[in-house]
Structure 1
Amino acid sequence: PAPPTPVPAVSIIIPVYKVERYLDTCVQSVLDQTFQDIEVLLVDDGSPDRCPEMCDAWAKSDRRVRVIHRKNGGLSAARNTGIETARGRYIVFVDSDDFLEPDTIRRAVAEQERTGAELVIFNLVYANDRGERWPTPDFTIFQDEILDEDGVWARYFALENQKIYYTVAWNKLYTAKLFADGLRFPEGKRYEDQFMLPHILHRCQNIACLGYQGYRYVQRADSIMAQGPASHYLDRPEYLLEWCGYFTEKGDYLRAEGLLNDAIKNLAEKDGFDLTTAQQRTRYRQACHDCSTAYGNLSRRTGRESMLLRAGLLRLGLPLYRIFLKHKT
């Protein structure tokens, strides 16, 4: 490969944890990119298998590869370590059990340079653990276009099974300046991409969207996101509440209330959560309290007294609030 420039154009961050079956395929797909001005940051998140040695072997075989060994802290912590180490003008995240098509980075960089977009989204396809494409969900619906922050949200809320195109961290080329003010993934959270999305979009004047399916998203039974339904984790109502606050600040009160009601509905399914620890019970109570606060905030913004009533009932508890809703219906 051609020698890299002292400061690479693109830093590709790959968090690594218990993926020895997939790691070589992933790294090879990155190094085989038609765009060669890259650095590859393998962030070994304290992996207990052969991954640390595999990472070191890659660094010895290709000067573009750097390895960071760190204590296990989870996916967000590993990504954040990569952000703090990256030198490139652009940042791309790749999950270590997935892989890129050969022309993905070249197309994304070319689109950024053509449009000046702060964020470039490239398309994806689902695949099995042998890398074979799945026909569904159908991501061929996405075409090349330039959107602003509000345009992305309009597209997102109009979708059903393809929302992942906009939400995930790994099918995107970010200008490094998006992270320059200390923006980082929330550590210790599931659905960290959803927590991050509003903050990323709010920093963008233009988002370039590509129809090119450059990312192969491998579905495996033991992945983090395969471990139970989303509604069983408090992270989901927590990010919905953050989104509610975000849309409230934007003045989109209808969408904010819809997200708030989704969070309340999720929290009402109390038996689905693991509340066996004091910490989890405290989180649950805080989320319920935050629903009341959010309705109070919406009431002040809109002048609707019915929202203030809902806030008061929520403060008294979800069971009473559900009785109110049943009676109202």
Structure 2
Amino acid sequence: MTNLISVIVPVYNAEQYLERCINSIANQTYRNLEIILINDGSSDSSKTICNSFATNDTRITVVNQQNGGSSIARNTGLEIAKGDFISFIDSDDYIEPIMLEKMLNLLLENNLEVVEIERNSAENNVVFDDSFKIENSITATKRIINTTSFQVWKRLYKRSIVENMRFIPNIIHQDVFFTIDVINKVNSIGFLNSPLYQYNRESIGIIRSNYSEMKRDIAIRATEYIKSNIADDIELNKVVNNYIVGYYTDHYFLLSRNTNFDQNGNYRKKLRTSILKSLNVSNVSLRSFMVIVLPRKVIEFISVSYKAVKSKQP
């Protein structure tokens, strides 16, 4: 085991899940790890938990810093990581014992720079067949956009790919920008269809918090970044158009029931224009059709009424 894997874990007020996360990393079948815990200004017992683990495991490094968000915490980890390979894990999640060994072996055996795995699914009908394939960058991009698999913790990276990259501070959907940039740096990605990453759906993070101006602005910024930074390929452009129609339609309805974030309707006008440009017979839905044909005030009424009905349901 000559290859060192640096595992970067941003930690913020994660005391409820943190021990489970760290244990899952420390107990990996692959032992040559550098575990970097970035305590991002936690106000709970997270710092104490991190220090306790570091006392008993020399592979663990704890960095304490003022709260700056997960982007800055990950950047801190990248700046000090010494590993030949880099992994990111979120502190409220955990990983299967074989995950890092499996990913590293596939990466080395196939001379790859990035290997991706799946996370556990909330749906019982999802089939994981444990198959492995090597995708070229266009095929990988299509799959990632189709399944919105931008999360950086799904991948193991060769150091040379990410050592000079940094996450954008103070934004959500930071993974979108990072993952698109990674794809543009590699010729192929290994994809293992196995749920080795256990994603925590109980924790309420900023992505799942209430709608906000930041969510509105970054949704548009991230989508425009995808469209502007992908390869010029007919089939890939179709996938992006499908993504735009679905994603912008969702945000149009969110703004329609949160009108304080779009009082003059300018954002919805921008979204509607982009939907129109991307719409075709294969990706149109009832909701996207409503956005195109119905007046803004009508959709506001529908959205607010729907929200009221849902709130009364047990």
TM range (shorter): 0.7 to 0.9
Aligned to 1:14: 9
1:208 aligns with 2:190: yes
1:110-121 map, 5 Å: 110-121=105-116
Give me the whole-angstrom Cα distance separating, in 1, the residues matched to 2:69 and 2:294.
41
Give me the whole-angstrom Cα distance separating, in 2, the residues matched to 1:89 and 1:288.
47
Instruction: Give the drift of 1:99.
Output: 1.1
Matched position secondary structure for 1:155: helix
Q: CA 1:245–1:291 in 2, change beyond 3 Å: closer, same or farther? A: farther
8 A Cα contact 2:116 2:154, kept in partner: yes
Aligned to 1:318: none
1:74-223 map, 5 Å: 74-126=69-121, 136=124, 138-141=126-129, 143-156=131-144, 163-164=147-148, 166-180=149-163, 182-223=164-205
Q: Deviations over 1:256-288 (max 9, x none)?
A: 555555565456443445756xxx99xx96897
Q: CA 1:196–1:106 in 2, change beyond 3 Å: closer, same or farther? A: same
1:224 aligns with 2:219: no
Q: Which moved more, 1:43-52 or 1:170-179?
A: 170-179
8 A Cα contact 1:148 1:206, kept in partner: yes
Q: Give the structure-2-normalised TM-score.
A: 0.76
Matched position secondary structure for 1:20: coil
Give me the whole-angstrom Cα distance separating, in 2, the residues matched to 1:264 and 1:21.
34
Give me the whole-angstrom Cα distance separating, in 2, the residues matched to 1:194 and 1:261.
17
1:39 aligns with 2:47: no
Q: Give the structure-1-normalised TM-score.
A: 0.73
1:27 aligns with 2:10: no
Q: Which moved more, 1:264-273 or 1:117-126?
A: 264-273
| Structure 2 unaligned residues grouped into runs of 5+ | 278-290, 297-314
1:59 aligns with 2:54: yes
Instruction: Give the drift of 1:208.
Output: 0.9
Matched position secondary structure for 2:29: coil
Instruction: Give the drift of 1:176.
Output: 1.1
8 A Cα contact 1:149 1:201, kept in partner: yes
Instruction: Give the drift of 1:154.
Output: 3.2
Instruction: Give the drift of 1:42.
Output: 0.2
Give me the whole-angstrom Cα distance separating, in 2, the residues matched to 1:34 and 1:49.
30
Q: How many residues align?
A: 280
Instruction: Give the drift of 1:247.
Output: 3.6
Instruction: Give the drift of 1:246.
Output: 2.0
1:241 aligns with 2:229: no
| Structure 1 unaligned residues grouped into runs of 5+ | 127-133, 296-305, 308-320
Q: CA 1:147–1:34 in 2, change beyond 3 Å: closer, same or farther? A: same
Instruction: Give the drift of 1:205.
Output: 1.5
Matched position secondary structure for 2:79: helix
Instruction: Give the drift of 1:250.
Output: 5.4
Instruction: Give the drift of 1:212.
Output: 3.1
Give me the whole-angstrom Cα distance separating, in 1, the residues matched to 2:177 and 2:157.
17
Counterpart code for 1:200: V
Counterpart code for 2:12: Y
Q: Alignment RMSD, CA only?
A: 3.5
Give me the whole-angstrom Cα distance separating, in 2, the residues matched to 1:227 and 1:208.
33
Percent sequence identity over matched residues?
22
Matched position secondary structure for 2:109: helix
Q: Deviations over 1:228-248 (max 9, x none)?
A: 479992222221111121247
8 A Cα contact 1:14 1:93, kept in partner: yes
